[in-house]
Structure 1
Amino acid sequence: MDESLAVIEEILREERGEIELAAGWKVVSYPKRQKKRSAMAFENGVSENLRFDELSEEHRLLVESQKAALDHFYSAKFKDEPPAQGVDDVVDQSQVDAIRNDGDETDAIQIKTKKTKKKIKKKSISVAEAAAKIDESDFLAFLAEITVSNEFQQDIQLLRFADYFSRAFASVTVSQFQWQMILNESPVSKMVDIPLVHIPEPIAIASMDWINSRSVDALGSFVLWSVDQIQAESATKDDSKTVNHSPSKSKAEMFVVLAMALRKKPDVLTSLVPKMKENSKFLLQDRLPITVWMIAQAAQGDLVVGLYAWANLLLPMINKPGFNPQSRDMILQLVERIISAPKARPILLNGASRKGERLVSVKSLEILMRSTFPPPSARIKATERLTGIYPILKEVALAGSPLSKSMKQTILDLFEMVMKLAAVGEEDLSKEASDISVWCLAQNPNCYQKWDDIYLDNVKASVIVLRKLDAEWSPACSNNLKAVLMSFRNKNKGAMEKEQGKSLEEAERQCKLILSKRFPRIRGCAEIAMFISVGLVATVAAAVAYGGPDSWEMFGGINSFTQ
């Protein structure tokens, strides 16, 4: 009996479950399962068409209650009006009646209801609306809680900090914060304020004060993680075949926490520059807007950090093959914004060297010079803008005390670099390079020795510099220049014995010209001394030949005078 009842309950349970999980109406028969059930029923003395009156009263009442529950399920599930849960069910009533007739052979009929879920439209709000809903007291309590609970785990603190804003901006959809379009199409002056401009001032101040207490190392890891979260869905990892994708989330919270971290602790970006230079994801052209946005945020907190990151990360990309004008314009907008900020010049000059790092290194200046003074055929629209920013960047590159150890080495490296550029052949570039080389000679006398060491590899450039020295002569260089010119002549003689070169001949001619023109006083003094000696001897001889005893006395006076 019990086993027979179990068979019936199993059939009812299957019917009920199949109806609930169905996605459409379909009649399916399972002969094997029917045979198995029939066999089980037969073994227990129950026919295949089992009737409730053959069961005990207790079992019959149980089955009837289950059937009543199923009927109630049908009436709720298949009524004319759709249920409030948003599900539309289409049911063939004849099939429902058939399954209710338990005695029919519809035992194995499976009814699948077709359910069409109505899409519930999610209410979308803007970044400003979501930010306005942040409760200040709740936020301050949250900051206090994560500071205490994760006192020695700043990385976890920062992740929970980001998670708070993630929940706060959960209702901000991509349509409300299209960050890719904002970064690609907005000028730098506008993109720099997005989305932090929407955050209430008390929340922003409290966040930045809290961030200020985190270490640079922890913030550095957090910044890299945040950038990964932003870029995760914007492009594939294949650098050679980058494919853009529409982000599934707005990422507003990541931009908010990143902006606050970089503005309050801009030195974090300084520490990340070496890593970013080695990671292509920061230098790919399609990801350039994010890098520009990051540097712009750091520059809001410290102009020196902004220019340092720009010179090391973005300046080398200006002459990159295949670089489009839009990206180049974005890079120039950023540096123009930095150098045009209030009191930018004194700030940048005072920070020309920080912790042993040059704000504009020798390598960066070389890139800048080549980009600003290209051949006429290579000039582009951006060249004029580079000409406008070049003077202040050059001033920053040359700023510093020439007596400091680091600056002395910088000047030596700079001299060697400009000597190579002076021989490039482009008139404007050669002129600028020779100007800087003369400046280096005046700032650091060791550059004369450096010049002597590299002379034979830079004969053409040396001729240009010698001409400039002659045209803009300064007595201050005479002491060191005479010695190096004599060394040049010796090297010219040895080199011309092996090969004849137009540059060598011109260099020898220029050396002779400067020696004869700029150092006549040494040769004149020798001649005067010789004439005095000859005249004195002639005077003594005349006195001896034509004078008497008085003449000897005169000679003795002269002799005592000369002694």
Structure 2
Amino acid sequence: MGLLFTNTKKARTVLLNGATRKGERLVPPASYELVLRAAYPNESAKTKATGRFVAVYPLIKEIALAGTFRTKATKPVAQQLPPLSLAGAADAVIAISSEACGNFVWCLAQNTKCYKQWEKLHLENLKGSIRILNHLNNEWKETSARLAPLDDLKKTLQALSSKHHNGLESVQGDAILESQLKAADHVCKALLRNTSRLPSCTKAVPTLAAIGCLGYGFYLISPSVNPWNWDGKLLFSKTHSFI
């Protein structure tokens, strides 16, 4: 532990090599969560030791999440982190909330079972879940790339939206809960629109294919006539009409 605080670079190599031993994590999710909160406490709770935790936090995080993408090393961690990340996302400390949102996306990327886990935990952790939804929406370009393909995300968003509708029907005089459900559903719908959008280049393919077929059709009707004029545009004339 002394090496960790005195020589982080040297400690990194040693600790990463032993990040997982016999299926046990050197830094389990619960311990990582404690370091996160020690590094970013409330302003009034900061001590002389806070700076030291801030310095080692990136390394602790790296060790806690170490492992090859979607393997036995990372999948169990991904399933243990969501409850902690949902709670962290709801934290008043911005740094903790931001880290928790990023960690939650990491979990989804590592293990698709985390989507179902999210569905079960959503209503019990609505504040944190809304922040994660907003994080996905605000950082869509990056997060969508990490979570691609987006089929599982889309199914979960639809499931969450269904929970919102059912919840709104059963809300009785709880203005705060009603507001949270509406806010969550608003972001869900925005994300669902994002998942349904095709890249512009993908949309262009059918159009280009249709133009190509049209040009070839002209050629079949009259091979002696070039359906493309000198500047590359199709010649639409009465002589070569499909009518």
Same fold flag (TM > 0.5) = yes
* 2:239 alignment partner in structure 1: none
Q: CA deviation at 1:407?
A: 2.9
AA paired with 1:460? K
- 1:492 is aligned, of 164, 169, 172, to 164
Deviation of 1:406 after TM superposition, in Å, equals 5.0
Q: Check whether the contact 2:28–2:64 (CA below 8 A) recurs between aligned residues.
A: yes
Equivalent position amino acid for 1:509 in 2 = H
Moved more, 388-397 or 411-420: 411-420
Deviations 1:343-376 (CA, angstroms, capped at 9, x unpaired): x322211210112221111111111011111111
Whole-Å separation in 1 of the counterparts to 2:193 and 2:69: 31
**1:383-440 CA distance string (max 9 Å, x none):** 1121111101110010023443353112110122111111122211111111111111
State the AA in 2 paired with 1:350.
Answer: N
Alignment of 1:399-438 (within 5 A): 399-438=66-105
Could you state the TM-score of these two structures normalised by the residue count of structure 1?
0.32
Question: 3-state DSSP class of the match of 2:150?
Answer: helix
Task: Work out whether residues 79 and 113 of structure 2, in 8 Å CA contact, stay in contact via their aligned partners in 1.
Answer: yes
Identity of aligned residues (%): 37
Kindly tell me: are residues 387 and 440 of structure 1, through their superposed partners in 2, closer, same or farther at Cα, counting changes over 3 Å?
Answer: same
Q: Which amino acid aligns with 1:485?
A: L
Q: What SS is found at the alignment partner of 1:431?
A: helix
Cα pair 2:154 2:195 within 8 Å, conserved: no
Pair 1:366-2:33 in alignment = yes
Contact 1:415 1:437 in 2 (8 A): yes
2:154 to 478, 482, 497: 482
Counterpart amino acid of residue 129 in structure 2: S
Larger Rg: 1
Question: TM-score, normalised on structure 2?
Answer: 0.72
CA displacement at 1:491 relative to structure 2? 0.4
Is 1:457 aligned to 2:124, yes or no? yes
- Residue 8 of structure 2 is aligned to residue 339 of structure 1: yes
Deviation at 1:377, TM superposition (A): 1.5
Q: Does the aligned pair in 2 maintain the 1:442–1:477 contact within 8 Å? A: no
Q: Where does structure 1 lack aligned partners over 5 or more consecutive residues? A: 1-306, 308-332, 529-563
Instruction: Supply the distance in 1 between the matched residues of 2:4 and 2:13 (Cα, whole angstroms).
Output: 16
Counterpart amino acid of residue 181 in structure 2:
L
Judging changes above 3 Å, is the alpha-carbon distance between structure 1 residues 377 and 495 closer, same or farther for their aligned structure 2 residues? same
The CA distance in 1 between the partners of 2:66 and 2:102, in whole Å, is 16
Q: Does 1:353 pair with 2:30? A: no
Q: In the alignment, residue 486 of structure 1 is paired with which amino acid?
A: Q
State the match for 2:53 in structure 1.
386
Return closer, same or farther for 1:485/1:403 CA change in 2, 3 Å cut-off.
closer
Aligned residue-pair number: 194
Of 130, 137, 158 in structure 2, the residue corresponding to residue 470 of structure 1 is: 137
Per the alignment, residue 509 of structure 1 pairs with: 186
Q: C-alpha distance in 2, partners of 1:428/1:372?
A: 9
Which structure has the higher relative contact order (CA within 8 Å, separation 6+)? 2
8 A contact 1:402–1:444 mirrored in 2: no
